[in-house]
Amino acid sequence: MGVTGVVAPVAAAVAAYMAASLIFRPGEGRRPLEDTVGPRLRRLVRRQQEWLTQAGYAWTPTRFWVACTVLAFAGFAVAFVFTGGAAVAMPWALLGAAVLPWAFGIQRRKRANRFKEVWPDGVLNLLASLRSGDSPREAVIKLARTGPPLLRDAFHRYPDLQVTHATEALEVIKAEIADATTDRVVEVLLLAMASGDRTLAVNFLEDLLDTLQDEIDEARKIEAANTEAKITAAFVVVFPPLMLAFVSTWNELYSEYWSTAAGVRTIVYLTIWILAGRWVLSRFQRTYLERRVLTGGRR
């Protein structure tokens, strides 16, 4: 049995084991990851958890990184089977590990944009309720029942939660959504509930509505300008490993070269160059999400 016949089954077995631990790991009696690390790591864990929440996934950081590791092993195993070279397969392991951060990052931005796009209609819904004489609490209940579909889904628990304490219920919903635009609307409603001043809420929401419209127009312009840069960045990352794997399967001389020390060094340098190029391009086309300053969140 050659090296290929040994490494590929081992990598596949490790990936299967980690996938099984990801899916079937026991949940009861397990301490949360935040309780097992120091203060600095605890902050990183909370930040990672918020990042996953903003992407719309009820995953823990542990589950996320285990899944990334599984995909890294899977990428390595598949590339190794087709090319027969461990060095050639390493960039594909990195690509496999990057799949979930890339996909979740895209989903996170899309989700934030969806909330920003829909909140003008949500604010109009709240304003209509407040102007008709409803209290802020009643206005939120109507939003949860008659607002835009995305906001109905996000606030669907509020009518039940507010029975005991309306402001605490809003805080719970705000934490579950973890969106900066939602934070601003909720803070206005919390202020109105605390003061009992419906007119104050109407004035603040009217000002917020104008601001949101301006932000949406600006965000659309930025997104259109960054489309080409995002395509280029993806091409820079995927194309070199793809060509490397193709050449290795097409000519045995190339495959043998990548197995030598010089070939391994070349692949290491290539990988570093790819990562550096991707990082530089990301600096040019990166779009920052609004910081959750009202909760002390950091992005």
Read off the pLDDT of residues 137-150 as tens digits, 9 standing for 90 and up. Answer: 999 999 999 999 99
**Out of 31-35, 91-95, 102-106, 263-267, which region has the weakest mean confidence (pLDDT)?**
31-35
Task: Specify if 62 maps to a domain.
Answer: no
Is residue 20 in a domain?
Answer: no
Which token pair is 283?
């600096």
Read off the pLDDT band of 70 (50, 70, 90).
very high
User: Is position 127 within any domain?
Assistant: yes
- Joined tokens for residue 279: 């990082």
Dihedral sign computed on CA atoms, order 256, 252, 73, 91: positive
Q: How many domains does the chain have?
A: 1
Indicate whether 129 belongs to any domain.
Answer: yes
Q: Considering the domain boundaries, does residue 241 fall inside one?
A: no
Instruction: State the pTM of this model.
Output: 0.68
Here the tokens at position 222 are: 């930025």
Per the listing, tokens 């590791």 go with 69
| C-alpha closest to that of 233 among 288, 274, 289 | 274
Per the structure, the complete domain to which residue 145 belongs is given by: 119-216
Q: What pLDDT shows up at residue 3?
A: 44
Q: 260 lies in a domain?
A: no
> Which residues contact residue 76 at a Cβ distance below 8 angstroms, ignoring those fewer than 6 apart?
11, 89, 90, 92, 93, 96
Q: Look at residue 219 and tell me whether its pLDDT is greater than 50.
A: yes
- Please, are residues 20 and 97 in contact by the beta-carbon 8 Å criterion? no
Would the pLDDT of 71 be above 90? yes
**Which runs of consecutive H residues, i.e. helices, occur in 37-85?**
39-54, 61-83
Identify the DSSP state of 260.
Answer: S
Sequence-distant (≥ 6) Cβ neighbours of residue 244 within 8 angstroms: 88, 91, 258, 267, 270
Tens-place pLDDT, residues 22-63:
444 444 444 454 555 567 788 888 888 888 988 888 899 999
108: number of Cβ within 10 Å? 21
Place of tokens 């050639």: 88
Spacing of C-alpha 78 from chain mean position:
26
Specify whether the CB–CB gap between 54 and 111 falls below 8 A. yes
How many whole angstroms from its chain centre is CA 52?
Answer: 5
Tell the residue number behind the tokens 């990166």, with chain if given: 286
In-domain check, residue 33? no
Residue 203 falls inside a structural domain: yes
